[in-house]
Structure 1
C-alpha cells in the first residue's frame, strides 16, 4: 500500500498518465495566453472593438467542442482501450501544434483561432478518459489521492503555462517563434509520456456507437437521472466551474483597478488562486483518511463563501494608486488579507471539487463512467457560459467587479444550501466526519471487499456509540445501519442517523411491533439492492469483549440470501464513548482522546455459510486482542 499520494508519482500505473495530462494542460495554456497577448498587442491595426471581438470569439470557440463532441468522446472512451486512445489524442495534439506554428509565423488570427477550436476538440476527446481511467489504474484507497494530484497538478500547470506563454511572447521580435517551438516540444513530450501508460481495457467493448452528437448528448444526460448522488455531484462539479470561471475572468481587471497592480501582480494573483486549489486538492487525501469523504464538500462550500465575502470587504473601492510591482503590492496596507483570501478560496475549492470527482468515479456504473464524465463536461461548459453571460448582465446593471464577486459568493451559499437540502448525505457526512476526525485516528484495511453494488450485509463488533459513524465513513457505499432505538434517538446523532436512513430496532420484549417493522424494512432495503449494517451482539460491550451474536442475522439471511461481510473494530474500548469504567459510576476511567483505532474487513461470506456462531468466530478472529 502506498504511504501517501506522492508515492503514486513513482508508479507506472499513474506517473505516465499524470505527466501526459499535466503536459496537455500546460500546452493549452502556453498557447492560449500567447494568443491572448498576440490579439491584444501583437497584431498591428486592431481597434479596441476588434480586440474584444477576437477575444470573445476565441473564448467561445474553445468551449464549443465540449457541446459538440463530448457525447461521442464518452462513447469512444467506453468502447476502446484507453491507453491507445490517449496516444491517438496526443498525436492529434502534435498535428494541431504544427498548425499553430504556421499561424504564429504568419500572425494569422483566423488560423490561430481555428487552432484554438481544435484544441478545445482535443480536450473534449480527452476529458472522459482523463477521469474514467483512474478507477481502473488505482486502488480504491488511492483514488482520492490520485484525483488530488490530477486536480492540483492541472491548476498548477494552468498557472505555469500562462506564465510561460506570456514570457515567451514578451521576447522582442521572436516571441511567436519561441512559442511555436515550445508548444511543439511540449506536445511531443506529452506523446512520449503517453506511450508508457499501461493498458486500460475497454469498459464496454460491445457498445454500439451513436454518431449523432445531439441525440447522444440527450441520452448521456439521461444517465444522470438514475442516481441522485451522482447527479448532484455532477451539478456540484459544474457549479465549481461556474464559481471558478467567474472569479478567474475578473481577476485581471480586478488586479489592475482595485489592487493597483501592474504587470507583476496579475500573475501573482493567479498564482495564489492556483496554488490554493493545488494545496487543497492534495490535502484531501490527508483529511479524508484516503477514503472518498464527501463530508469535505460542505467544508469546501463554506470556505468558498466565507472567503469570497471577505475578499469583497477587504477591497470594495477602486485603488488610488496603480502600476504597483509585486513587492509594492505585498507591502501595501490590507494586501496580506487579500493574499490570504485568494489562497484560501483556492484551498477550499480543492476541498470541494476532489471528493465530488471521486464520488462520481466510485458511485457511477463502471460501464457508463466515461459517458457520465462526458455529461459532466457538457454541463461544465454550460455553467461556464452561463457564468460569462451573468457577468455581462451584472456589469450592464452597473455592478463593480468586487460586487460581482460578492454576488458569486452569495450565490454559492444559496446553491450549496439547496444541494445539501436535496441530498442531506453531504451535510450528514460533514458532521460525522468532524465528530470522527476529532475523536479518532482511523486506519482502514479491507473495506474494498464490500461489494461495489447489489444487496449485502456488513456486521461488526459493537464497542461505542460512534461505531456506526466510523463504519459508515469508511465504507464507500451508503450503509443503512440497524441500531437500538434509544441510540437512534440520541440528540444531534439522531439527525445523522435519520439522514443516513438507519433502521431503529427494539428487542421483542421491549417493543415487538418495532422489531417486526425493522425486519420488514431490512428485507425491503436488501430487495432494493442496498447495503445493511448490523451489530449482531445487540448491545454495546460492557467489558471490552465480544458478546455472543444473536440470531437476528440468521433470520435476515433466511428471508433474503445475500453476501455478509465480517468487520471488526480494534482499539475502541479505551477510546471516547465506550462503556469502559461505567461500573465505577461517575468517576469513569480516563479515555484516550483521538485514539488510534482500526476497522478491518474480511472476505464476504456466502449466505449458505452464515450462522450467528460462524460470524462471531470470524469477527473475533479479525479483532484479535486489540479490544
Structure 2
C-alpha cells in the first residue's frame, strides 16, 4: 500500500446509516436538488446540441458547413471552453460558495437558451454555434462544482453511491436529451419552435430546483485568483501530481473518456457500414451504451460494501478489454445485407452478441470510473479539490481530442471500425496494466475484493471503528495466510502491515505483500538489524498519519486458538508517544477462518505446514471480521488487547 494520507470526510449533515441504499439519497435535500439540477443541465445540453446537429445535417443547406462536418464542428466548439477556462472554474469553485456558483450557472443557462431559442426560430446557424460555445462554458463552470460538492455533503461511505447516482443520471439525461432533440426538431412546421421552447423550459426547471440546494461554504475563501489559464492549468496539474494515487487516477479517468469517445464517435458509421442498420439502429447502440454505463455505475455501491472500493477498477478494466475485443470478433464477419430497420436488425441472432458486448463493455466502464471519481474526491485536499477536478476536466478534453485524431488516423490508414475497436480494447489492457503497476493499491484492492467476494463470504461488523483519517494501529488475531488481504478488503484506507519475514518467501503472497510495502520483521535474536529497522519503518508510517497493522501473536495459530500477544505493539505505541503522537489501537477479530482456505495447519515432521487441506470447507466459506472500539494509547497492554479480541470473537 502507499503511505499517502487518506482524508475521509464526515460532514455533520451526513447520515451514513440513515438509508439502505443510494436511491434513498433522492429523498434527502442535501443530495436530491443537486441531482436533479445536474440531470436537467445534462439533458438540456444534449437536447440543444443534438437538435442543432440534426437541423444542420438534414434541414439546412450551408455551403460553409457541410453536413459531414457538422458533428465535428459542434463537438469541437463545445470542448474548447474546457481547455480555456477549466483552470479558472476550479479556482472559483474552491474560493466561493458552491451553491451560489450553481445558481449563477443556471441563470447563465437560461440566458443562453433564450438566445438559442431565437436562433432556432430564425434557423440561424451562426447564433446557434455561438450558443454551443457558451453551453460549453456553462458546463466548464459546472464541472468542478459537480464533483467537488459531493464529498462536502456526503459521508465517505456514501461517496460511491452518490457518484454512481450522478454518473447514472448523467448518461440517462444525455440519452433522453438526444432522443428528445431528434424527435422535436423533426416535427413538421413547428420543430424549431418546439425545440426552442423545450430548451428554455428545461433551463427554468433546472434553476428552480437549484434554489433548493443547501449552502456549501467555500473551502479556500482566501484564494487569490490567477486569471492566466496556461499557468494555472500547469499549477493544477502539479497540485494533482503531489498525490501520486490521485494523479494516476486522473490519468485513468481521462483514459476512460478516450475509450468511451472512441466508441461513441463510431456508432453512426458502425451501425451503417458494419451492422447494415439505419438511423434507428445507431440510436439503439447509444441506448444500450448509456444503459450499460448507468447499470454499472449503480452496481458499484452494491459491490463495494458502501465504501470507496478501488478494487472494482481493475475488474472494470478487464471487462472493458474483454468485451471490446469480443465486439471485434462479433462484428467482423457479419453477412452483407441491405440496410435494415430496427425490427429486422433485432430478428438476426448475430446482432444480439454485438448488443451484449456493447452493453457489458459499458457496464464495466461504469464499474471502472465511479470508484476512481470517489477516490479523487476522498484523497484530494478539500482546499484544492475543485482545482484538481478542473485539471481532470482539461485532461479529459485532451484525451477526447486525442481519441478523434487517432481514430481518424487509423481509418485513413485502412483500419476497419471493428479493427479500431480491437485496437482500443488491446490498448486499454496495456494502459490499465501500466497504471496498476505504477499504483499497486488498485491491484491489491482487486485481489482483496476477489478474495472477500468469491473465495470467502466475508462479513464485516463495526467497520465504523476504523478511523477515517489520522494514524492508528490495528491489532488482530492471526488465523490464516491471507489475514492481511482480508483486512485490506475491510478498510477503506491503505494499511501498512508488519509481518514475519518468512511470509515473504511464500509464492504469490510474498510478491503481493512486497507490492503492499509490508514491513518485514525478524526475531531480535536472529536479526537485530531487521528487528530495529521494522520499528523505525512503523514509526514513520504513524508519523505520516497512516494505518499500521500488526498481528501480536507473532505467528499463525497452530490449533485455532490465540497465542499470547507479544509486546511489540506496546513498543510501537510508546515510541509514537515519545514523538508527541497519541495513537489509538483498534482491536479486530477474524472469525471462522480456521480450517478454511490458506489456514489449515498440520504438523509434519515437527514443522507446521500451511494449507495441508485448503479445500476442506469448499468455496464461499462464511468468515467475518469484528472491529472493536479504539483503545487509548495510555491503556495499551498485550493482555488488555488480547482480552478485547477474545470478547470480539465471542460476540
* Band of TM-score, shorter chain: over 0.9
Q: What do the CA deviations read for 1:430-452 (whole angstroms, capped 9, x no partner)?
A: 22221221133334455455455
Question: How far apart in 2 are the matches of 1:129 and 1:260?
Answer: 42
Which one has more relative contact order, counting CA pairs under 8 Å at least 6 apart? 2
Contact 2:451/2:486 (<8 A) preserved: no
**Alignment match, 1:89:** 105
- In 2, the alpha carbon distance for the partners of 1:312 and 1:87 equals 45
Structure-2 change in CA distance of 1:440 and 1:142 (3 Å): farther
1:250 to 252, 262, 266: 266
Point out where structure 1 has 5 or more consecutive residues left out of the alignment: none
Q: Could you tell me which residue of structure 1 aligns to residue 518 of structure 2?
A: 502
- Aligned counterpart in structure 2 of residue 568 of structure 1, from 552, 571, 588: 588
Q: Partner residue of 1:57?
A: 73
Q: Distance in 2 between matches of 1:118 and 1:279?
A: 31
The alpha-carbon distance between structure 1 residues 153 and 597, as it changes in their structure 2 partners (threshold 3 A), is farther
Distance change in 2, residues 1:484/1:577 (3 Å): farther
The reply on whether 1:525 has 2:541 as its aligned counterpart is yes
Aligned partners of 2:400, 2:569: CA distance in 1, in Å? 51
Alpha-carbon shift at residue 296 of structure 1 (Å): 1.6
Partner of 2:636: 610
Q: For 1:378-397, what aligned pairs fall within 5 Å after superposition? A: 378-397=394-413
Q: Is 2:169 aligned against 1:144?
A: no
Output the CA distance in 2 between the equivalents of 1:9 and 1:72. 31
- Alignment match, 1:406: 422
Cα distance change of structure 1 residues 26 and 596 upon mapping to structure 2, 3 Å threshold = farther
Q: CA deviation at 1:570?
A: 4.9
Q: Following the alignment from structure 2 to structure 1, what is the Cα–Cα distance between the partners of residues 468 and 388?
A: 18
Corresponding residue for 1:27?
A: 44
Are the counterparts in 2 of residues 247 and 405 from structure 1 also a CA contact under 8 Å? Answer: yes
Are the equivalent residues in 2 in contact too, given 1:459–1:564 (CA < 8 A)?
A: no
Distance apart, 1:453 and its partner CA: 4.8
Moved more, 254-263 or 505-514: 505-514
Q: Label 1:192 to 1:598 Cα distance change in 2 as closer, same or farther (>3 A).
A: farther
Number of residue pairs matched? 624
Secondary structure in structure 2 of the residue aligned to 1:93 = helix
Q: How does 1:66-77 map to 2 (within 5 A)?
A: 66-77=82-93
Q: Give the match's secondary structure for 1:430.
A: helix
1:301-344, CA deviations, whole angstroms, 9 ceiling, x for partnerless residues? 12111211111122225762243121211112411110111111
Residue-by-residue CA offset, 1:540-573 (whole Å, 9 max, x unaligned):
3456555443211121122223422413235334
- Give the match for residue 303 of structure 2: 287
Match of 2:317 among 287, 295, 301: 301
User: Kindly tell me: are residues 213 and 202 of structure 1, through their superposed partners in 2, closer, same or farther at Cα, counting changes over 3 Å?
Assistant: same
Give the distance between the partners of 1:501 and 1:42, measured in 2 at CA. 62
Distance verdict in 2 for CA 1:598–1:75, change over 3 Å: farther
1:346 Cα deviation after fit: 0.5
Kindly report which structure 2 residues correspond to 1:366-445, keeping only aligned pairs within 5 A, or say none.
366-445=382-461
Question: Distance in 2 between the 1:322 and 1:122 partners?
Answer: 43
Q: Partner of 1:334: helix, strand, or coil?
A: helix
2:246 pairs with one of 194, 206, 230? 230
Q: How has the CA–CA distance of structure 1 residues 195 and 232 changed in structure 2, closer, same or farther, with 3 Å as cutoff?
A: same
More off after superposition, 212-221 vs 378-387:
212-221
CA deviation vs aligned residue, 1:378-405 (integer Å, no higher than 9, x gap) = 1000100111111222222222222222
- The Cα of 1:116 is off from its aligned counterpart by 0.9
Paired residue secondary structure (1:264):
helix
Structure 2: gaps of 5 or more residues: 1-16
SS class of match (1:560)? helix
Query: Which residue in the other structure is 2:135 paired with?
Result: 119
How has the CA–CA distance of structure 1 residues 392 and 573 changed in structure 2, closer, same or farther, with 3 Å as cutoff?
A: closer
Whether the aligned pair in 1 keeps the contact of 2:292 and 2:360 (CA below 8 Å) is yes
| C-alpha deviation, 1:199, in angstroms | 2.5
Distance 1:351 1:187, change over 3 A: same
Name the SS for the 2:383 alignment partner: helix
User: For structure 1, which segment, 71-80 or 460-469, has the greater mean C-alpha deviation from structure 2 after superposition?
Assistant: 460-469
Q: Is 1:39 aligned with 2:65? A: no
Q: Deviations over 1:192-229 (max 9, x none)?
A: 22222222222222222222222211110111221111
How far apart, CA to CA, are the structure 2 residues paired with 1:48 and 1:258? 30
**1:583 deviation in Å?**
8.5
Alpha-carbon shift at residue 347 of structure 1 (Å):
1.0
**Residue 180 of structure 1 pairs with residue 220 of structure 2:** no
What CA distance in whole angstroms lies between the structure 1 residues aligned with 2:210 and 2:195? 22
What TM-score, normalized to structure 2?
0.90
Name the residue aligned to 1:80. 96
Give 1:174 shift: 1.0
TM-score (norm 1): 0.93
